Structure 1
Amino acid sequence: MGKLSISALGALIAITSVAAPVYAESLAFNYSGSLRVRYETLNNPIFPTSDNVRTQTNERISTRIRLKGDAAYGNWRAVAEIEDSRAYLDDNDPTLKSSQVNTLEPVQLYISYHDVSEYIDSVTVGRVTLDHGSRRLIGHTRFRNATSSFEGALVDARLTGWQLRGFYLFPVARFPSDSASIDDNKRALDKSFSNRKLFGLYAVSEDKAWTVHSYWLKESDSAELATKNRDIITLSVDRTQRFFNSWKYNIEAMVQTGHARQTASASDVTDRNVKAWMIHSHVGKQLNKSTFLRAEVEAASGDSNSDDGTINAFDSLYGLRRFDFGPTDVYQTFPRSNILAPGLRSVTKISDIHNIMVGYKALWLHQVPEGEEDFLGHQVEFRWQYQVSSQLQFSLGGAYLAKGNALETGAYPDNSAYAFTGLMYTFK
């Protein structure tokens, strides 16, 4: 745990220990949590591989427990959240990473002071998880089993109708990171590093129609941390607008510039220029009281030449992709890079009990070397959520990828079939 999170922990203990006995009648405390159990199965991995690296069929049972405590006194607030993410049944699956297994870790541990001034809403210090805008650059995970955390400081403010957030953060690296320890659900304390930092500004207009955010990621190698030495700036502009009453469109455009290295290898010492972009857009209509249908397209720049001194592959930083490209974890859906993917999606909500999503995408690589195939295939996905009770939710879903020529190589050229089911219990 970094110095900042230790300070936050000390402040949290001090606030709760001092305030509780003296001002017990004014101290408000809330707690909440959830327990999720999910089963996944995949036949024929998506990406080309050999049978000595990955088996044809993979099964996994994953569990995730979240426990959160929130203490408030006057303008002060202290939050602590623990998460325990584990995986079972996997037989040394090479795709099992620390993004899916993170055993008994404090993912949030911070203090904040609210109503600082006319313009400053709050100041927060400690370890946090974040949701910004579309969550394509930074987000609190829903489907994925483990959560990304950050240590640092945030300032939330208001100016001429805009909600603003300035932040200076150190991304938290999840440990252990070696495959054997992850496969055995072993525990090690996560920590941040001073040689990797993320800072910028996030802004939302008063009518929520505009979202603008910028991120500057700076990192360098150290004895404990091998990096791509990224020094990149990412700017995103997001516009949402309703029209003709029941129609809505959204477009989000991102540009990325700076420099980085091709790999995190110690032998890679060549800094390359970064020039990349990403676009998401959709237009949809409320068909009836329960169903929304939209046409959508995802596009992100990619690299077809790794020797030209420029990196054109888009880096989605700490963003999420499940809601655009399909289930992550076992399915290992497509990255938000070097992709062109138009499609259709419908979401039907029936009386707050049933939530049904059906989606289709055609997928191409945006850039390929001359003479190589670019069509990845046709993907259909489905998800049904049934609210059994106010606290218990049942989920069932899956995806099917009819592979295109670009993926019909390796030991498993046949189409990929994936299914999952799960239960989540929440309390507060």
Structure 2
Amino acid sequence: MRYLSLPLLLILSSPALAEDGLTVTGSVRLRYETIDGQARTGFNESDDLLNLRSSISADYRRGRFRIGGELYDSRVYGDDPGTPVTTGEVNAFELVQAYVGYDIPGAFGRETRLGLQAGRFTLNLGSRRLVAADDYRNTTNGYTGLRADLGLGGGTSATLIYTLPQVRLPDDRAALDDNQVRFDRESFDLVLWGGLVTKKLGGERPAVELSFYHLGERDAPRRPTRDRSLDTVGLRIYRDPAPGRWDYESETIHQVGTISSSLTPTAPSLDVSAWFAHLEAGYSFRHRWAPRLSLEFDYASGDGRGTKFGRFDTLFGMRRGELAPAGLYNAVGRTNLVSPVLRLEATPSKRLDGFIAYRPLWLASRFDSFSTTGVRDASGGSGRFAGHQVEARLRYWLIPKRLRLEWSGLLLAKGRFLHDAPNAPQGGDTIYNSFNATVSF
């Protein structure tokens, strides 16, 4: 059983779409990634890693009732002692979803509806910058609790959640290296609740969205934490892309609460005041390649020298959708960051799509570590400029809906900060590549 993995189960399973409403789907993704000039502290300057992620899900519906589950198997091979392997890469043979649901049309009037869900499930809410199931990462985020989706008529909808985020296990390096199977746990030591309300504003699909989430965290046995108690409020206004017109998005998020100054149980508590903002304007051309050109801007506060803690916490938000790849790179996240972006996307055919993006990078606070690199100059003497990031991706369906190939590449030309900070890695510019093959059924 030690070496049994989900790919074997997928081979032995057959996809089904039964008349009684049972749907079974699955996928296997193989990824080989390499990096030279690692930008994060404490890891190998050059490295490579083989990732294998397999999943199988089942959903049964009958009338208003539904029941579903999803099994994930995420493993890595070929890692060395200095390879950055965490629960973001390894979570072997885990039942991420196991839920029941019930839909109630007309719950609050003729044009209303209510959908209820309980158990284990994944979540993708709003812009996915705070609550998401990250698809690029080798593992995903799971939540245990309750979810309610409300359709209130007049273009207004809402989603409310009360969940215990699943803590992925094992989390010690020896067990991760061995791809050991240990079931994730949830408890009231980590709680996430809140939700969002969305209002469509009429023609051409503009919308406004208001969100609120509370994260409560405390020490658990053999698991010290920063004891976060964070209230996060967001306002988002957006218009979806469409051929031959402009689209836009503006999201501003304010975060307040408390956090311990360290993992020590007796560490003093600090007041939190942090911000995040995303601005975006794009245009989709009427062309058979469906090109879209966009200009974006991201700001995420960092911690300064004041009495308040200012480093923005993205909670369970996704990274790859707009910032950078996870995996061996994982250097740019939604914290202590100031960065404009120029992005070009295109879909030359139903089989092929891609994008290229240029992003210069600055620190919001020169006294804090840069984004998620761990590189820091507490004196502030290394300045704010971290470098130039150029990223590209190509995806091609070799067999439509069955086999997709993907290449992702990134160059980080390191700036003054990533060269001069006291603990900056000594390597040259960062070059990252990943090659992926995904089989779906």
TM-score calculated relative to the size of structure 2 = 0.86
1:173 aligns to what SS in structure 2?
coil
Which of 85, 88, 111 is 1:96 aligned to? Answer: 85
Residue aligning to 1:273:
271
Which of 115, 125, 128 is 1:132 aligned to? Answer: 125
CA–CA separation in structure 2 for the residues paired with 1:81 and 1:141: 15
Matched, 1:55 2:44: yes
Residue aligning to 1:193:
187
CA–CA separation in structure 1 for the residues paired with 2:315 and 2:207: 24
Shift of 1:224: 4.4
Q: What pairs with 1:159-238 in structure 2 (closer than 5 Å)? A: 159-160=152-153, 161-206=155-200, 207=205, 209-238=207-236
CA–CA separation in structure 1 for the residues paired with 2:249 and 2:229: 29
Residue aligning to 2:97:
108
1:94 and 1:179 in contact (8 A); partners too: no
Which of 376, 383, 389 is 2:393 aligned to? Answer: 383
1:189 aligns to what SS in structure 2?
coil
Q: What pairs with 1:8-407 in structure 2 (closer than 5 Å)? A: 27-47=20-40, 49=41, 53-115=42-104, 117-118=107-108, 119-160=112-153, 161-206=155-200, 207=205, 209-241=207-239, 245-268=244-267, 270-289=268-287, 290-305=290-305, 308-369=306-367, 370-390=380-400, 391-407=402-418
Shift of 1:372: 3.0
TM-score calculated relative to the size of structure 1 = 0.89
CA–CA separation in structure 2 for the residues paired with 1:139 and 1:246: 28
Call closer, same or farther: CA 1:405–1:101 in 2, change over 3 Å.
same
CA–CA separation in structure 2 for the residues paired with 1:26 and 1:145: 33
1:382 aligns to what SS in structure 2?
strand
CA–CA separation in structure 1 for the residues paired with 2:427 and 2:28: 37
1:100 aligns to what SS in structure 2?
coil
1:223 aligns to what SS in structure 2?
coil
CA–CA separation in structure 2 for the residues paired with 1:44 and 1:139: 29
Matched, 1:419 2:433: yes
Shift of 1:264: 2.7
CA–CA separation in structure 2 for the residues paired with 1:287 and 1:245: 5
1:300 and 1:340 in contact (8 A); partners too: yes
Residue aligning to 2:8:
none
Task: Specify the code of the residue in structure 2 equivalent to 1:246.
Answer: R
CA–CA separation in structure 2 for the residues paired with 1:242 and 1:30: 30
Q: 1:250-281: per-residue Cα shift (whole Å, max 9, x none)?
A: 1111000111113333342x111110010011
Call closer, same or farther: CA 1:242–1:328 in 2, change over 3 Å.
closer
Shift of 1:365: 0.4
Call closer, same or farther: CA 1:359–1:26 in 2, change over 3 Å.
closer
Shift of 1:120: 4.3
CA–CA separation in structure 2 for the residues paired with 1:230 and 1:363: 28
Greater shift in the superposed pair: 116-125 or 390-399: 116-125
1:408 aligns to what SS in structure 2?
helix
Q: % of aligned pairs identical?
A: 29
